[in-house]
Amino acid sequence: MAYKSIFYLFVLLFINQLTYSKEISKPKGGIKQKVLSIKEWNPPSSLSTHFGHGTWARNEPIFNFNLNLGYVRYFMKNDADSAADFNTRFSYIIELKPLDFISFLTSGSPYAIYMEDNEWLRNITFIFTNKIYSSTQFISDELRWYFDFIYNAIAINAAIVPNSFTQPSALSRFYPSNRRSSIGLSDHFHLYRDSKIALGIKMFFEMTLPKGTEQVVRVASNAKANLLNSSDLSYAAMGGFYFRRKVNNIDMNAQVLYQRIQGNYDDEVIAFGENTLKAKYTISVNDQIFAHLLYYYVSWFNENIDEKFNSHTFNIGSEIKGFGDQLQWLGAGFDFFYQRMDQSFIFKGSNDRGDLNAYIFLVSANFYPLAFHSKNHRLKVSLIYGQFKYDWQAVRSNQTVNFKEDGWNYSVMLKVNYSF
């Protein structure tokens, strides 16, 4: 009987070792130092909009909606150019994190611990969308308002008109629409992290899934009369790294992202390529004083008709959120932008060119009505006013027709963002 008891004891110890093969280290002295990490790869649930008025034209409202259900995220945005001749459907993105969901269901088990230790596997996300827009939004999300803001004040289409596009809105000329459906895969993980420093990598890949041959637009200037069947694929790939360092009450963040889009689009069945680069550095003190430095570059080309477009955007700005201890619901900001855009278009003997330089000074008043709210809700209302000093020049159809204008222009915008 003694031998059987010893045998059963060893079996129980062996099973126990299998079940709890990895022991979570206990904090020393009752205090555990928090490991610094970088999160928010998927934005939280939010609803945001912006609209404004300026010297040149009034901007239509833009709505963006993100619904984060923890392991399934549904993203939508309205296509402001509803009058376009093609692809006016409502954009959507559905994201699935199946392995993370399994880890949640098996919380406390060895499998969940294994998933936590292998975040690259836990963070694999599958994307289904009707546009190549998933990776694009991570680069352009914080700048969408700015491109619409500048178009309120400058009749930019008189100088810079991508001949492949008919849509007049700001972001659409940088990121054209694609086919009916796309599938993608994303991942992110930390290379290193401790209580003060975190370094990680982001990756994204998407490709279209055409349903046989689709009817697409061949010549954007007359879409309804120039349709063509095509089953070509398009793809988008994005990669980058992010860095964070925290020392006492100072928090520093850096991010560099690069995206490449290649393929044929609804706008015109052509060999089309696009490169986007964003580099940003931010620093905050006591989560109250913020400063940032940003560079944003977009370049696309149309090989069939030798069309090229480049845009360089530089931004430096700062914000104070809350004054003293009693005015945490109030904030103020200042930004300076410099943007240079140039385009060339050579087709059937024409040699069209366009150049634009803009100097933009912005001031903003920000309100946080829920600053005293105890739950994880945030409402930010911003009133932004800008003055523009710009010049442009355009040459059309070899007729040496020049458009040039100098002067100060204004733009006003209201931004509302609610997240929870």
Residue 130 is predicted with a pLDDT of: 75
Query: What is the number of structural domains in the chain?
Result: 1
On whether residue 378 sits in a domain, the answer given is yes
Q: Give the bridge partners for 127, in sequence order.
A: 95, 184
d(CA 9, CA 11): 5
- Cα distances (angstroms) measured from residue 220 to each of 151, 156, 216, 267, 407: 21, 19, 10, 6, 33
Segments forming the whole domain that contains residue 373: 33-419
Domain assignment of residue 16, yes or no: no
**Taking a C-beta distance cutoff of 8 angstroms, is the pair 126, 98 a contact?**
yes
Q: Is residue 147 part of a domain?
A: yes
pLDDT confidence of residue 167: 40
Assigned domain for 18 exists: no
What integer is the mean pLDDT of 42-53? 82
343, part of any domain = yes
Residue 322 lies in a domain: yes
pLDDT at 212: 60
Residue 306 domain-assigned (yes or no): yes
In a domain, 394, yes or no: yes
pLDDT digits (tens, 9 = 90+) for 67-107: 888 778 888 776 554 444 445 567 788 888 888 888 878 87
Q: What is the pLDDT of residues 341-398, one digit of tens each?
A: 887 766 555 666 677 788 899 999 999 888 777 667 788 999 999 998 877 666 666 6
286: CATH: 2.40.160
- Quickly state the pLDDT bin for 25 (edges 50, 70, 90): very low
Q: What is the pLDDT of residue 169?
A: 43
Closest CA to 123 of 65, 199, 40, 192: 40
- For the segment 160-186, the average pLDDT, to the nearest whole number, is 58
The mean predicted confidence, pLDDT, of the chain is: 75
